[in-house]
Chain A
Amino acid sequence: MNPYLQLSGVNKTFGDFTALDRIDLDIEQGEFVTFLGPSGSGKTTTLMIIAGFEDATRGAITIGGHSLAGLAPQERNIGIVFQNYALFPHKTAAENVYFPLQMRGVKKAAGLAKAEEMLDLVGLKGFAHRYPKELSGGQQQRVALARALVFEPDLLLLDEPLGALDKNLREQMQIEIKRIQKRLGVTTIFVTHDQTEAMSMSDRIVVFSDGNIEQAGAPLDIYHRPSTRFVADFIGESNLLDAVVTDAEARVAECPALGSVVFGAEGQPPVVDGQEVALLIRPEHLKLSRDPKEGRMNAKMVIDTIVNYGDNALVIGHRGDTQIRVRVPGADVVILKEGEECHFSWTEDAAFVLDR
């Protein structure tokens, strides 16, 4: 079966600046896909091309097998939530939500009824007659979401919709958006540069870097099996150590910082003897102890800094010139002291190699 939304070879240049190099991406119907990447990596540009506000310099986009080429934004039936919500200040919440229906020729009485229904769904019962400036940021966000969904769009695009909200509200809206998206089954692209947001919400994460897709995959796939150093670094905390493969068969690499290391994680890329690789061990896969642990690989380090988060802590230490990051449960922190030497240990399946 063909994918629902397909971007093939999409390229975009502004003058002689390449904003999008080559974007190939398939999205299934009903999928919740997150675009994640640093500032300026081309997430918004991709969204604007899909929405029809920018023309791709090269490449093609299809929805449900139909090309979007030559279709104006008005003809694409795509719902968009902008970062600043873009609510019409002269219209009430209900009138805002009614607007796309009005443009489709729905009569006022029926349209406003539908709008209020939609406002109910996003948890804004009783706010229909408020003007945007009479609503809080989170409430405006909900109105914008209702407005983008009320006309049953083929696709929902959200460009950093939660960027302006405080942490609590953010988390609440993440759950809310996910709930509504599931319930309506609308295919959704969500842009963020917050990796935890991407992790918690997405069916699939697409990591952007410099106008290219660095990797696309399920959140845990990307977390545990990053395909490039950039992804490993960008998503989650990581220990990335240079190493050279000494025995590809037995999956052993020689690492200046740790010595001989077996990389036994699942789904690693094929390697050959003598290949220069980067060894990835996530901080939460390391354990700290006074003495070496039986049945695990062990090494020593000196603790430099302890960053306490309450339920857990990040311990940053060094071994020789190499920085080591270890995540420990909050309760274990009390016995650790900065400046002390201790052992850290890991299991073979925690070590993952990727191309350097």
Chain B
Amino acid sequence: MAVTLSTLTERRNLWPWLLLAPLAVYLALFFLVPLAEVAIMSVTEPRPGLANYEKVLTGSLYRKVFLNTFATAALVTVCCLLVGYPLAYLMNATTQRRAMMILLLITMSFWTSFLVRTYAWMVLLGNNGPVIWLLETIGFEDPPGILFTRFSSTLAMVHILAPYMIMNIYSVMQKIDRSLIRSAESMGAYGLSLFRHVYLPLTAPGIANGSVLVFVICLGFYVTPVLLGSPREQMAAGLIGHQIEEFLAFGLGSAMAIVLLVVTLIVLAIYSRRFGLDKLYG
């Protein structure tokens, strides 16, 4: 009896792992193995040693690119938050139907391919595009080029990443108990102080989750900054691609990739250590 019981529970415990197996194999083959190759390449190409890392960590070009990557990711995160928070609030405040409509509009961009979206921005912001035309029409003489600037790449990245922010914040807002807000009101909390003391802290987990997600995705962005951004303000992923495609510097590119990965992991670690807000709210 005891034996069958324990084998039963063991078998039950095995099930989830069995279900995970295909994914685990897939990840191992197509993610971990190549990643290991990249790591090996970074210390063997073109000759064994840590020369690549030395270059990446001390070279001023590389430092500038990494700093720029962080600054851009931070900027995009803040912009996503500024755009996303009010939208999430609106979705939460309005009727279910309208919320679904807004959600549809927001996620619409997910249905189009990444490249198409990026090229759409090129058309919109290009020198013969409607935005420049509009600026000229309302009286700008010789408006500055918008495409291939930090502005255009940031705009496009915010457009792509904002849904992640919105969904994270919206899902937290939806779960806020109405009686919390009502009790705050009954105790005399109005608009701004209600927001600052009650609503904002209650939505903080959504803000934190959304921000980390957007920030981390943004750190590794490739296509958008390469196609829309300024060539003088490259981001890390773009530079890695550049190194490998243009200069065939596999070792150097790999070293940069590893550094970027480690930095991203550090960000995630700090987040889960310091801002494990889920824990606090239980």
Residues of A within 8 A of B (CB): 51-53, 72-74, 76, 78-80, 82-84, 86, 88-90, 99-100, 102-104, 131, 133, 147, 151
Q: How far is the CA of A82 from the CA of B193 in the complex (A)?
A: 21
Residues 172-198 of B contacting A (Cβ, < 8 Å): 177, 179-180, 182-190, 193, 197-198
What is the predominant secondary structure among interface residues of chain B facing chain A? helix
Asked if A73 contacts B281 (CB within 8 A), the reply is: no
**Other-chain residue from B182, B189, B280, B281 in contact with A86 (beta carbon distance below 8 A):** B182
Note all chain B residues with C-beta closer than 8 A to A73: 182, 185-186
B34 within 8 A of A: no
Q: How far is the CA of A72 from the CA of B198 in the complex (A)?
A: 18
Q: How far is the CA of A260 from the CA of B193 in the complex (A)?
A: 70
What 10 pairs between A and B have smallest CB-CB spacing? A100-B187, A103-B188, A86-B183, A86-B179, A90-B201, A82-B179, A133-B282, A73-B185, A80-B186, A74-B188
Asked if A99 contacts B197 (CB within 8 A), the reply is: yes
Q: How far is the CA of A88 from the CA of B186 in the complex (A)?
A: 14
Q: How far is the CA of A76 from the CA of B185 in the complex (A)?
A: 10
Interface residues on B, range: 20 to 34
B204 within 8 A of A: yes
Residues of B within 8 A of A (CB): 177, 179-180, 182-190, 193, 197-198, 201-202, 204, 280-282
Asked if B189 contacts A88 (CB within 8 A), the reply is: no
CB-nearest residue of chain A to B191: A74
**Count of inter-chain pairs, beta carbons less than 8 A:** 66
Q: Can you report 12 residue pairs joining A to B where beta carbons are below 8 Å apart?
A: A53-B185, A72-B185, A73-B185, A73-B186, A74-B186, A74-B188, A82-B183, A86-B182, A88-B202, A131-B280, A133-B281, A151-B187
Asked if A151 contacts B201 (CB within 8 A), the reply is: no
CB A4 to nearest CB in B, in angstroms, measures 19
Asked if B180 contacts A88 (CB within 8 A), the reply is: yes
Asked if B189 contacts A90 (CB within 8 A), the reply is: no
Q: How far is the CA of A89 from the CA of B187 in the complex (A)?
A: 16
CB B168 to nearest CB in A, in angstroms, measures 18
CB B223 to nearest CB in A, in angstroms, measures 39
**Other-chain residue from B180, B187, B202 in contact with A103 (beta carbon distance below 8 A):** B187
Asked if A79 contacts B188 (CB within 8 A), the reply is: no
Asked if B186 contacts A90 (CB within 8 A), the reply is: no
**Other-chain residue from A79, A89, A151 in contact with B280 (beta carbon distance below 8 A):** A89
Q: How far is the CA of A278 from the CA of B182 in the complex (A)?
A: 44
Known: A86-B179, A88-B201, A89-B282. 10 other contacts (CB 8 A): A53-B182, A72-B185, A74-B189, A79-B187, A80-B186, A88-B202, A103-B187, A131-B280, A133-B280, A151-B187
CB A70 to nearest CB in B, in angstroms, measures 16
Q: How far is the CA of A72 from the CA of B184 in the complex (A)?
A: 12
**Other-chain residue from A88, A90, A151 in contact with B188 (beta carbon distance below 8 A):** A151
Note all chain B residues with C-beta closer than 8 A to A147: 187
CB B1 to nearest CB in A, in angstroms, measures 36
Note all chain A residues with C-beta closer than 8 A to B186: 51-52, 73-74, 76, 78-80
Q: How far is the CA of A310 from the CA of B133 in the complex (A)?
A: 89
Q: How far is the CA of A199 from the CA of B182 in the complex (A)?
A: 29
Note all chain B residues with C-beta closer than 8 A to A51: 182, 186
Note all chain B residues with C-beta closer than 8 A to A74: 185-186, 188-190
